[in-house]
């Protein structure tokens, strides 16, 4: 029978077939073949033996959080406690774009900002909207979930579980306080699980503070800074990396304030981090 893996705890995989749930183990041969079943995988299962026998082809996957076959990712960024991080936002956008998943930005805790801080935040968010990203700061985001499989990502304490509870009061997900000493939240979500909600499938995931460009080379990072591609044809260098070349059009656009300087500086840092 064909089902979808909706939860993993240790070596137990919960597979949904129609409206029934089966807790299954994975075949031992998967390990020998380097195959790791992921939440979101479509799988063949042996119902009698409660065994996953085959993982069907994936359209995409994320390594952190570990999940497959995602339509869109909501990046939840906190304004304060923990502090807003353009570094983490840009890194997540680049990685999600690379994996052919649609990114959506949600910024939480805007009520904690004073008028000047809110003005500066809105200037930044307008830039991200102008380069093509959907950006939300309120519950109007509820309109994006129907008939989609959505994963929520972001740092611990940013408010992912709180947002989901506001969007669907039936969820009752556990939320936690942010540590004032560490500046980040506790991982109230312990595992990845797909839940039927808001007309689609929703995955709440453990938060994290570190993420890397696993499997991505410098060119992959460059090509997934979406606004760079808009001006790429104007650059006089073929396959320009936009870092050391003189009179690079992307660098000129940064100087002209067309490309956000923080985005460009983050890009330079990321291509240095790339080990591929």
User: So what's the pLDDT on residue 184?
Assistant: 43
End-to-end, the C-alpha distance of the chain in Å comes to: 40
CATH number of 2-57: 2.40.50.140
Distances (CA, A) of 180 to 185, 209, 210: 9, 15, 19
Q: Enter the pTM of the model.
A: 0.87
Domain ranges for the chain: 2-57, 66-204, 226-273
Per-residue confidence band for 95, with pLDDT thresholds at 50, 70 and 90: very high
**Residues 139, 143, 149, 154, CA torsion sign:** negative
Q: Strand 149-153 vs strand 200-204: parallel, antiparallel, or unpaired? A: parallel
Domain 66-204 fold is: Rossmann fold (3.40.50)
In the DSSP assignment, the letter for residue 136 is E
pLDDT digit string (tens) for 144-202? 999 999 998 887 778 788 898 899 988 877 654 444 444 444 445 568 889 999 999 99
H runs (alpha helix) in the chain: 29-32, 86-98, 115-130, 160-167, 218-223, 226-231, 249-255, 261-273
At which residue do the structure tokens 């079943």 appear? Answer: 37
At which residue do the structure tokens 């080379």 appear? Answer: 217
Contact 217, 274 (CB under 8 A): yes
> Cα separation of 214 and 145, whole Å?
28
pLDDT above 90 (res 10):
no
């Amino acid at each position: 029978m064909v089902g979808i893996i909706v939860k993993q705890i240790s070596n137990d995989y919960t597979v949904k077939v129609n409206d029934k749930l089966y807790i299954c183990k994975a075949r031992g041969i998967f390990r020998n073949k380097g195959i790791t079943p992921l939440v979101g995988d479509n799988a063949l299962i042996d119902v009698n033996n409660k065994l996953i026998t085959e993982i069907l082809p994936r359209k995409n996957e994320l390594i952190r959080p570990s999940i497959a076959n995602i339509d869109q990712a909501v990046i939840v960024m906190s304004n304060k406690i923990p502090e807003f991080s353009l570094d983490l936002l840009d890194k997540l956008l680049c990685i999600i774009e690379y994996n052919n998943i649609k990114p959506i930005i949600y910024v939480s805790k805007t009520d904690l900002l004073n008028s000047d801080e809110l003005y500066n935040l809105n200037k930044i968010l307008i830039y991200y909207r102008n380069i093509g990203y959907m950006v939300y700061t309120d519950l109007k985001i509820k309109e994006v979930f129907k008939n989609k499989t959505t994963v929520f990502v972001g740092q611990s304490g940013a408010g992912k579980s709180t947002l989901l509870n506001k969007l669907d009061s039936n969820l009752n997900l556990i939320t936690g306080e942010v540590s004032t000493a560490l500046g980040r939240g506790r991982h109230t979500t312990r595992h990845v699980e797909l839940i039927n909600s808001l007309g689609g499938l929703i995955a709440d995931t453990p938060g994290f503070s570190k993420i890397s460009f696993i499997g991505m080379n410098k060119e992959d990072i460059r090509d997934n800074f979406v606004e760079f591609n808009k001006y790429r044809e104007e650059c006089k260098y073929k396959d320009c990396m936009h870092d050391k070349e003189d009179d690079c059009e992307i660098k000129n656009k940064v100087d002209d304030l067309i490309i956000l300087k923080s985005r460009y500086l983050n890009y330079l840092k990321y291509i240095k981090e790339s080990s591929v």
